[in-house]
Amino acid sequence: MQTYDIVGVGFGPANIALAIALEEYEFPGSRLFLERRPGPSWQPEMLLPGSDIQNHPCRDLVTPRNPRSRYTFMNFLVENQRLFDHLNLGLEFPLRYEYAQYVSWVADFFAGEVRYGTAVESLRLDPHDANLFIVTTEAGESIRARSVVVAPGRTPLIPSVFAECDPARVFHLTQFNQRLEALATAAPLQHIAVIGGSQSAAELVLHLRDRCPDAQISNVMRAYGYRLKDTSQFSEHVYFPEFVDYYYNLSGDGKKRINQHLHYTNYSSVDKDVITSLYARMYEDKLRQAERIRMASSSEILSCGVQGATQGQLQLEVREVNTGAVAKIENIDAIVLATGFRNLGVGEGEESCPAILQGLQDHLAHNQNGILHIQRDYSLSAREGHAVPPLFLNGLCESSHGYGDAGSFSLLALRARDIYESLSDKLNTDQNTRTSAQKQRKAACHTDRVAEFTGAEVQ
């Protein structure tokens, strides 16, 4: 069985940013990233034509940490001879297609460190050596690791009312393209429901209107209607690096209070361009007497069942939350759940531990609410009386580190640096193998960090 200094679970943006940091800081140890998908990609199931990203493109995999890196979005444009075409676009944000190409372009530089088509099933301690993990893949292979960085992205949130539904017809947006394609190939789709009132929900409704020109689209959401995203520059401080320290040190009540204020910077809200586009399309449909989008707002779903056993079509029972009126939405061919993701926690829609870490639960420290205790450096610590090798969560820490974590690119690059620093200290690579040039580089990285934190004041 092979042993690596670092095994990374997942090779999405979070661990790609870490791979860059390891290379640029000249980490001397061995590493292997295990990625379930067959090749590099970024949210491939939601690559909808015309959709754009929601972050400034320079808040990419590396620029905030090292703007001179080869792996910046700007350098991607230069090396692909698209800089001037791109600058001339006049779009506020790049197209998601282009950003996904950027992510894959960077990932390709690290192909030698990644094993694609390899899903990790579990993680446990090596019974023969307390300094090692054993990482087991779904194919049954075992790999030893001196440390593990877990970055599988958050678990999709499937509301319990849909738990027993046929997954071929009722699916989360993280499976959208594949599942819709499979259904549409079997028979033309005549009625699709989108559940949710988020940016993704609005994008899906817009997309389905064009992709399925004969289908009716029902959009069920609990909110009164699509809300504009809070893009106030003042609220957007939540995506500043110093916000992480501020948030991390707040009490549970403080976190709750600030979350309420900041919720609409990233959740249950939609960018203006998408709202305007959707509203205009619906208006145009009305003019042409060809209305196909039906909004069921202020509505909660009471049940989802099969209707007409042979066809497998579905029906939703919904209640208008303000009037209490109950209605049915019938003859649905497919239901797309734009219902979000699970954060770590014990509240509704949260999970106390990512599935992959279940086998380690008994060894890990939890806080008073029974949630994994995550340190400021994104590491998990051992429960009293237990020992666990270095273990990090990369991109799962929104409930402890704030909104700039799981749901955003904004702080990926700086988080990679935090993890790198702590990881290399814990693995003790400094003492054993680091050359003086590498030490200088690390010192520079510390100096940058101090300047960044002392130069900014938390409001």
Ligand X SMILES: Cc1cc2nc3c(=O)[nH]c(=O)nc-3n(C[C@H](O)[C@H](O)[C@H](O)COP(=O)(O)OP(=O)(O)OC[C@H]3O[C@@H](n4cnc5c(N)ncnc54)[C@H](O)[C@@H]3O)c2cc1C
Q: Which residues bind ligand X (CB under 6 A)?
A: 9-14, 34-37, 43, 46, 53-55, 119-120, 151-153, 200, 356, 395, 407-410
Residues with Cβ within 8 Å of 368's Cβ and at least 6 positions away in sequence, in order, are none
Distances (CA, A) of 100 to 206, 284, 324: 20, 31, 43
- Closer residue to ligand X in complex, CB, 115/319: 115
Phi and psi (nearest 5°) for 42? -130, 115
Q: Is residue 405 within 8 Å of 397, Cβ to Cβ?
A: yes
Q: Is residue 162 within 8 Å of 170, Cβ to Cβ?
A: yes
- Closer residue to ligand X in complex, CB, 66/174: 174
- In whole angstroms, how close is the CB of 10 to ligand X at the nearest point? 3
Q: Rounded to an integer, what is the distance from CA 33 to the centroid of its chain?
A: 17
- Closer residue to ligand X in complex, CB, 262/314: 262
Q: Is residue 122 within 8 Å of 358, Cβ to Cβ?
A: yes
- Closer residue to ligand X in complex, CB, 232/322: 232
- Closer residue to ligand X in complex, CB, 13/197: 13
- Give dist(CA 19, CA 14) in Å, integer: 9
Angle at which helix 272-287 crosses helix 199-211, to 10 degrees, equals 40
- Give dist(CA 316, CA 334) in Å, integer: 11
- In whole angstroms, how close is the CB of 417 to ligand X at the nearest point? 16
- Closer residue to ligand X in complex, CB, 118/218: 118
Residues with Cβ within 8 Å of 387's Cβ and at least 6 positions away in sequence, in order, are 130, 363
- Closer residue to ligand X in complex, CB, 162/341: 341
- In whole angstroms, how close is the CB of 67 to ligand X at the nearest point? 18
Nearest residue to ligand X, using CB? Answer: 12
- In whole angstroms, how close is the CB of 119 to ligand X at the nearest point? 4
Q: How many CB atoms sit inside 10 A of residue 436's CB?
A: 7
- In whole angstroms, how close is the CB of 431 to ligand X at the nearest point? 31
Token pair belonging to 166: 């046929």
- Give dist(CA 289, CA 333) in Å, integer: 23
- Give dist(CA 166, CA 156) in Å, integer: 16
- Closer residue to ligand X in complex, CB, 14/414: 14
- In whole angstroms, how close is the CB of 273 to ligand X at the nearest point? 13
- In whole angstroms, how close is the CB of 229 to ligand X at the nearest point? 12
Cα atoms found within 13 Å of the Cα of residue 270, Cβ hemisphere only: 25
Length of the chain: 459
- In whole angstroms, how close is the CB of 11 to ligand X at the nearest point? 6
Residue position matching structure tokens 């001397």: 28
Q: Is residue 387 within 8 Å of 130, Cβ to Cβ?
A: yes
Token pair belonging to 304: 């989802």
DSSP state of 55: S
- Give dist(CA 228, CA 311) in Å, integer: 38
- In whole angstroms, how close is the CB of 33 to ligand X at the nearest point? 9
- In whole angstroms, how close is the CB of 109 to ligand X at the nearest point? 16
Residue position matching structure tokens 């090749």: 39
- Closer residue to ligand X in complex, CB, 8/299: 8
Pairing of strands 3-4, 170-172: unpaired
- In whole angstroms, how close is the CB of 358 to ligand X at the nearest point? 12
- Closer residue to ligand X in complex, CB, 10/390: 10
Structural element, H or E, at residue 294: strand 293-296
DSSP 37-89: SSS--SSGGG--TT-B-SS-TTSSSSTTT-TT-TTSHHHHHHHTT-HHHHHTS
- Closer residue to ligand X in complex, CB, 11/27: 11
